Amino acid sequence: MTVILDGKALANKMQEDLANEVTEWKNKGYRIPTLVVILIGEDSASKVYVKNKEKSAQKIGFNSIVRRLDITIKEEDLLSIIESYNQDDSVDGILVQLPLPKHIDEEKVLLAIDPRKDVDGFHPLNVGKLFVGDPDMHPCTPYGIITLLKEHNIQLAGKKVVIIGRSNIVGKPLIHMMLNEDATVTIAHSKTKNLKNETLTADVLVAAIGQAEFITSDYVKEGAVVVDVGMNRNSEGKLVGDVDYQDVLPKVSAITPVPGGVGPMTITMLMEQTMNQGRKYCGEEKE
């Protein structure tokens, strides 16, 4: 029987635990963690993600600040806004929603965020720490994937993991997290020759491609675990993943649905990492 890796259920459970911890802090008179999300422009997909993040932050009881900036904002003005949040001791986490408008240099922006407040795990220092196997902040989507697989006792040590997609926010950091779990990792992308040859060897197949229902059952080994990171709209405007869920379902041992799989876990890991910062700093004024 196929196991549905229900990210929504685990996300709800983890967020409830966080909410209880925040309630305890409130009772103790501690400062409450604050997450700042910076959203530039009017991209509708980005707005949906930001809205979901805000909803979760409010449910948990965090202070949630969404700073909406005009798409024409100058790079230097964005950098100085980030710096003001770096300096603000009441701010625990800062996230700048990606992608950025073309006139803004992403690398400069990610470098500007105080690495201790980089709850998205994208600052080069945090990327480097993950690379050498000593992670501090994790990129949330791959972290959510690993957390969901562990919750379901899916073994990674010694397993063959194939990741399709080499973005800085999903595919590349996931290589290192899978290596840290002792998996054998292959990463495929648009220049990979004969993609099926690779995917058919996967015990765990991760699709982070950005193409609606691209992965059909002929890409998948019998009994594999399939993780679908994709967030696409199909021709009817419905949210679908990179995997053709119905086609693949009978063949796999476990699979993440879209929606309700990786997405809610991404948001939960962001909350968890914000809480971690709070665990370091929120109680200190009372001591």
Ligand X SMILES: Nc1nc(=O)c2c([nH]1)NC[C@@H]1CN(c3ccc(C(=O)N[C@@H](CCC(=O)O)C(=O)O)cc3)C=[N+]21
Ligand Y SMILES: NC(=O)C1=CN([C@@H]2O[C@H](COP(=O)(O)OP(=O)(O)OC[C@H]3O[C@@H](n4cnc5c(N)ncnc54)[C@H](OP(=O)(O)O)[C@@H]3O)[C@@H](O)[C@H]2O)C=CC1
Give the residues lining the site for ligand X (CB under 6 A).
Answer: 48-49, 52, 95-98, 120, 140-141, 169, 231, 239, 258-260, 263-264, 266-267
Residue 81 interacts with ligand Y (CB under 6 A): yes or no? no
Q: Does 190 interact with ligand Y (rule: CB under 6 A)?
A: yes
**Which residue, 272 or 282, has its beta carbon nearer to ligand Y?**
272
Active site annotation includes 97? yes
User: Which residues in 127-186 contact ligand Y (CB under 6 A)?
Assistant: 141, 164-167, 169-171
Q: Which of 15, 53, 129, 251 is catalytic?
A: 53
- The sign one gets for the Cα dihedral 213, 215, 221, 227 is negative
Round to whole Å and give the CA distance between 286 and 119.
24
Q: Could you confirm whether 244 is annotated as catalytic?
A: no
Q: How many Cβ atoms from other residues are within 10 Å of residue 196's Cβ?
A: 11
Among 263, 268, 278, 282, binds ligand Y (CB under 6 A): 263
Residue 120 annotated in active site = yes
Identity of residue 208: A
The option from ligand Y, ligand X, none interacting with 260 (CB < 5 to 8 A, set by class) reads ligand X
Measured from the CB atom, the residue of 115 and 263 that comes closer to ligand X is 263
Residue 167 counted as an annotated binding residue? yes
Give the residues across from 254 on adjacent strands. 3, 225
**189 and 213 in contact (C-beta within 8 Å)?**
no
| Nearest in space to 162 (alpha carbons), one of 251, 240, 245, 226 | 226
Residues from 191 through 210 that contact ligand Y (CB under 6 A): 191-192, 195, 208-210
Residue 211 as a binder of ligand Y (CB under 6 A): the answer is yes
Cβ(109)–Cβ(100) under 8 Å? yes
Q: How far apart are the C-alpha atoms of 196 and 186, rounded to whole Å?
A: 13
Cis peptide before 173 (omega within 30 of 0): no
Q: Enumerate the active-site residues.
A: 53, 97, 120
Known binding residues are 165-167
